[in-house]
Structure 1
Amino acid sequence: MSTTPEPARRVLVTGASSGIGAATVRRLRAEGFDVVAAARRLDRLEALAAETGAEAYALDVTDQGAVDDLVAHLEASGGLDGVVNNAGGAFGLDPVEDADVEQWQHMYELNVVGTLRVTQGVLPLLRAAAERRGGAEGAGADVVFVTSTAAHGAYEGGAGYTAAKHGERMLSTTLRWELAGEPIRVVEVAPGAVATEEFSLVRFDGDAAKAAAVYEGYQPLQAADVADVIGYALTRPPYVNIDLLVVRPRAQVHNSKVARTGV
């Protein structure tokens, strides 16, 4: 008796044009997932799509209309089994007294409200996918939030970013409570220092020397290390939920304490 193979799970990755997002696309494609790679820079996404076989989709998570269009596209093209909310970023490292209010607003809009927009938009698709796959007894669906160790502690100069990431963490935690009993896993991955090509460069407004100094004297995480953690969470048996996984370089024991010993 022949059976129809289960179709590959389809996952949306936001902020996929570089860094952790691009590495996550590569990891999930290697695991056999269908992946929709979404970000603002379509040229980078198309190169990633050519490399991995993912689908490239131009998206600005701070634009509600763009998110609505994405959801409509996903619904019309096969639905969705999971989302990795990775789009985010930090701007500035100023003390509260001198903080740039517009930078704070931008960080909150990108890390919290943008993540909320995407999550709200895809939840009906995730519920439908979970139902197709057997509901409570089947594979279910997944919502992953890539936050930061900044979501779990303060540090001087980081109030704007830590405030935004704490907000995203509470979004993740509250959603898990609100979805209790539904076959949808909610996962938070909180990376520490990750040496990507853009995170610190953007934070320091293009100052390459300041950006490089963040990672001097120790071995920071690489984007692929975080992608490995995300891949691990998404490939656990459906009854296993990784509520929270904090991953740091060995040398980093706190947001503001790093042993710069050269290893």
Structure 2
Amino acid sequence: MDGVRKTAVVTGASSGIGAATAWRLAAEGFHVVLAARRRDRLDALAKRIGEEVPGAGRLAAVTLDVTSQESVDELAAGLPECHVLVNNAGGAVGMEPVAEADPADWQAMYDSNVLGLLRVTKALLPKMIASGAGHVVNITSLAAHVPYEGGAGYNAAKHAAAAVNEVMRLELVAQPVRITEIAPGMVHTEEFSLVRFRGDAERAARTYEGVPEPLVAEDVADCVAWAVTRPAHVNIDRIDVQPRVQAAPYKIHREPS
């Protein structure tokens, strides 16, 4: 990284991939704005990063609900600058087949994964353009590119997010803003599957049964850090990252118990 510290905003930074990304970008020398709904967790994380990461830049915890335009506008109004935006907020709800799907679940997934991405990107894009070296990183999923049974709602939302990423790449080609999609496969985090299965811890745990080494949040954060620290003329369009034992969302090698 050059001698001028850049500011990175990470949404969904209170846990999982977002928290790991905030930590890693602080270690890379960025000023990091940690944004999510759970302010208590953000404050605790920012404090730990400040204490444990040598030479960390400024750390700011900001309450953010990406489904609220008012909340997004408050975030943007409080930022003097933004070089990097990591759109990580989102998630999956349910695994019901289409014939049994609840439209409210699909609405929630679309609002966070797609409209949330739109709200935050639109609000911060002028600051990224003004920086002269902006970068939008959209965390999607292998579900954005490979459909699987039980995943229709999440597939639809993440396919839409991937489409937005590709369109932005076209629309902003003349601007000093890079656009990157990172599409993780199976990542073992504390909350993703728990939320998907509505708090059913036993069912969430079965997702990872027999998988010798699923990805962890730090693996995805490593991809983010690599992409945003390339020279300004280098755009990493997309990174698909999955554990060695995963060939597709529905093709995973599991060791016998």
TM-score normalized with structure 1 length: 0.92
What secondary structure sits across from 2:96 in the alignment?
Answer: coil
Kindly indicate whether residue 141 of structure 2 is the aligned counterpart of residue 141 of structure 1.
no
Q: Please give the residue correspondences for 1:51-62 in structure 2 after superposition, counting only pairs within 5 Å.
A: 51-53=48-50, 54-62=59-67
Please report how far the alpha carbon of residue 51 of structure 1 lies from its aligned counterpart in structure 2 after TM superposition: 1.0
Q: Which runs of 5+ in 2 are unaligned?
A: 51-58
Secondary structure of the corresponding residue to residue 118 of structure 2:
helix
Same amino acid, percent of matched pairs = 54
Q: What is the CA–CA distance in structure 2 between the aligned matches of 1:141 and 1:91, rounded to whole Å?
A: 32
In the alignment, does 2:219 pair up with 1:222?
no
How large is the RMSD of aligned CA atoms in angstroms?
Answer: 1.2
Gapped regions of structure 1 (runs ≥ 5): 131-139
Determine helix, strand or coil for the equivalent of 2:78.
Answer: helix
SS state at 2:35 partner: strand
Deviation at 1:262, TM superposition (A): 6.2
Aligned residue for 1:125? 127
**Alpha-carbon displacement from aligned partner over 1:63-121 (angstroms, at most 9, x marks no partner):** 001101110001xxx31111000000000000000001100000000000011000000
What corresponds to 1:155 in structure 2?
Answer: 148
User: Which aligned pairs between 1:153-232 and structure 2 lie closer than 5 A?
Assistant: 153-218=146-211, 219-232=213-226
SS of 2:81 mapped into structure 1: coil
Matched residue, 1:136: none
Shift of 1:183: 1.4
- Aligned counterpart for 1:71 among listed residues 76, 81, 96: 76
State how far apart, in whole Å, the 2-side matches of 1:262 and 1:47 are. 39
Distance 1:252 1:125 in 2: 38
Distance in 1 of aligned mates of 2:87 and 2:38: 17
Q: Indicate the residue corresponding to 2:233 in structure 1.
A: 239
Structure 2: distance between partners of 1:48 and 1:129 = 27
- The 1-side partners of 2:94 and 2:33 are apart by 30
What letter matches 1:69 in structure 2? E
Q: Which amino acid aligns with 1:159?
A: A
Partner of 1:31: 28
1:48 aligned residue: 45
Q: In 2, distance between residues paired with 1:82 and 1:242?
A: 14
Q: Structure 1 residue 141: deviation in Å?
A: 1.0
Q: Distance in 2 between matches of 1:189 and 1:262?
A: 31
Query: The residue matched to 1:126 in structure 2 has which SS?
Result: helix
* Structure 1 CA distance for aligned equivalents of residues 164 and 256 of structure 2: 37
Separation in structure 2 between the aligned mates of residue 182 and residue 60 of structure 1, nearest angstrom: 28
Alignment correspondent of 2:55: none
Is 1:9 equivalent to 2:6 in the alignment? Answer: yes
